């Protein structure tokens, strides 16, 4: 009996030791995995750093590229496109005007009844339409026919309070948020697509002519009075409401900037200078790149797999279309090479753009002690459940790293504009206000991104100058701006209302 007890005890002890050894082994394995994952995390964090000195270098590089783009048409990163807008809205505009705002995966159509200085915007209506994905890579005829059909439906719903003077044609401001070589206020050929569009037969073609042809086909009697970029529309809408607006920046699906330049500072401008001595410049700053930009292997991967390899590098690290996917790529590497989410790699992590920036924003704004929102989004979007708090904290920190880099680089770009137009200093005895009109869902809805951008501007220019700079949300500025520019370039402009 004694021998049996001893034998049993030995077996039990051996079992306990074996279990303990397995537990220790598992813990050591998990510890090694965690250490490996943290190596990737810390390396990414370091490569995304944006110290103040680097931001100054980025701003200076932006100024250099702006000057190069204003000097010649070809071979420059920044196109610095002449918009032919030399007079921004004054408030005198009146009548019914439409706008079509095409700038991403959705487009909007709107109508505005303007009442001059006294009435301003008397009435406004709009509707938004999603573009089927196949039309983003189809033919230009298919895309513009789809848009014209939606416009026809919207015109048919014109209600009381909107009226066109008898015998007059309706007029439209066309906000087209892609690089265009403009030849007049109402004509311009597409240089290239961005934001996921790839319609080859439209490149080099006049987009106003294409839209007009489709409108005629769909029975829409409307004249395109102004072709503008969304950024120029935002600038025009901002100036209509605030005379101190000097520039506009879009931070949404994509990104761009426009500003008011002295016409005499545009060497490539041919012909007499405009009476206003000013010209709005569409920078197309999404294509900016510099050796000073903090790029990582994940950014290079994203670029190589994109539809426009080697282009829009600035856009690919600061805009809403890409931030979430940069983060997905980091998580995928940590999952593949450090088993960050366990022994199997979550299949959804391999799907490009499955982790969208609004989801990243929701996780970044999670203030719960156990990061409940982070956990629920990982489960809902990526199929990753039962995450530990420390895993969720790493995901939260990754949101912060990606967003902070984007926001601080955006601020450096804005500083470049301020430097170019001499608004980065304050003359003695003068405190001229400088307003930057902002638009886009990233800036409007991603609070942490917006706050970081604003605080970085303050850090870059210093307390005194920061008091003169206002970063102002111009919600729906591009749509309103397009109607205003259609009004200021109306064929009936000099005719009594």
Supply the angle between the helices 230-241 and 477-488 in degrees, to the nearest 10: 80
Determine the Cα angle at 424 with ends 420 and 426, to 5°. 130
pLDDT at position 7 is 56
490 and 225 in contact (C-beta within 8 Å)?
yes
**What domains can be seen in the chain, in order of their start residue?**
43-81+242-474 (3.40.367.20), 84-228 (3.30.420.40)
233 and 173 in contact (C-beta within 8 Å)?
yes
Over residues 282-335, the pLDDT tens digits come to 999 999 999 999 999 999 999 999 988 999 999 999 999 999 999 999 999 999
Q: What is the mean pLDDT of each run of 10 residues along the chain (497 residues)?
A: 55 50 54 90 97 98 97 87 87 89 88 84 90 93 96 90 83 89 90 87 95 95 92 90 93 94 93 88 95 98 93 96 97 95 94 96 98 97 94 97 98 98 82 91 96 98 94 81 88 66
pLDDT at position 488 is 83
Distance of CA 497 to the CA centre of its chain: 38
Name the residues annotated as catalytic: 177, 192, 230
pLDDT at position 429 is 65
pLDDT at position 321 is 94
Residue by residue, DSSP assigns 97-145 as: EEEEEE-SSEEEEEEEEEEHHHHSEEEEEEEEEEPPGGGGGS-HHHHHH
Sheet holding 121-130, edge to edge: 121-130, 106-115, 94-102, 170-176, 222-228
> Which residues, in sequence order, are CB contacts of 462 under 8 Å at separation 6+?
none
Matching residue, tokens 């998580």: 331
Considering just the CA atoms, what is the radius of gyration of the chain in Å?
Answer: 27
Six token digits for residue 346: 């979550």
DSSP reduced 3-state for 308:
coil
Closest CA to 401 of 358, 367, 360: 360
């Amino acid at each position: 009996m004694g021998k049996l007890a001893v034998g049993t005890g030995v077996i039990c002890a051996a079992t306990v030791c074996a279990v303990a050894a397995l537990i220790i082994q598992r813990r050591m394995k998990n510890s090694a995995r965690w250490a490996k994952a943290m190596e990737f995390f810390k390396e990414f964090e370091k490569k995304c750093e944006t110290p103040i000195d680097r931001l100054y270098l980025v701003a200076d590089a932006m100024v250099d590229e702006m000057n190069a783009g204003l000097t010649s048409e070809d071979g420059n990163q920044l196109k610095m496109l002449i918009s032919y807008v030399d007079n921004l809205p004054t408030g005198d505009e009146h009548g019914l005007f439409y706008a079509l705002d095409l700038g991403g995966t959705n487009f909007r159509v709107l109508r505005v009844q303007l009442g001059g200085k006294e009435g301003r915007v008397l009435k406004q209506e709009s509707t938004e339409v999603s573009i089927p994905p196949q039309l983003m890579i189809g033919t230009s005829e298919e895309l513009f026919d789809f848009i014209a059909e939606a416009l026809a439906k919207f015109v048919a719903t014109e209600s009381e309070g909107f009226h066109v003077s008898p015998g007059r044609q309706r007029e439209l401001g066309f906000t087209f948020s892609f690089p265009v070589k403009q030849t007049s206020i109402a004509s311009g050929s597409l240089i290239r697509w961005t934001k996921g569009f790839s319609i080859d037969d439209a490149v080099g073609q006049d987009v106003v002519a294409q839209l007009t042809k489709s409108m005629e086909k769909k029975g829409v009697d409307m004249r395109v009075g102004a072709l503008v970029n969304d950024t120029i529309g935002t600038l025009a809408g901002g100036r209509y409401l605030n005379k101190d607006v000097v520039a506009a920046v879009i931070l949404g699906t994509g990104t761009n900037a426009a500003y008011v330049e002295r016409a005499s500072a545009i060497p490539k401008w041919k012909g007499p200078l405009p009476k206003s001595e000013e010209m709005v410049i569409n920078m197309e700053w999404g294509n900016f790149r510099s050796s000073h930009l903090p790029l990582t292997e994940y950014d290079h991967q994203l670029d190589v797999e994109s539809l426009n390899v080697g282009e829009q590098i600035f856009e690919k690290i600061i805009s809403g279309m890409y931030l979430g996917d940069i983060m997905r790529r980091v998580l995928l590497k940590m999952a593949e090479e450090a088993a960050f989410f366990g022994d199997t790699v979550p299949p959804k992590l391999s799907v490009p753009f499955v982790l969208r920036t609004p989801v990243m924003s929701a996780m970044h704004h999670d203030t719960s002690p156990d990061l409940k929102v982070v956990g629920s989004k990982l489960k809902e979007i990526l199929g990753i459940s039962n995450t530990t708090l420390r895993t969720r904290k790493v995901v939260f920190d990754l949101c912060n790293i990606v967003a902070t880099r984007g926001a601080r680089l955006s601020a450096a770009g804005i500083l470049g504009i301020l430097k170019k137009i001499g608004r980065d200093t304050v003359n003695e005895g003068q405190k001229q206000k400088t307003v930057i009109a902002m638009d886009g869902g990233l800036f409007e809805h991603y609070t942490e991104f917006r706050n970081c951008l604003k605080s970085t501007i303050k850090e870059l220019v210093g307390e005194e100058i920061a008091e003169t700079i206002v970063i102002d949300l111009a919600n729906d500025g591009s749509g309103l701006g397009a109607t205003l520019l259609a009004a200021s370039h109306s064929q009936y402009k000099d005719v009594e209302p």
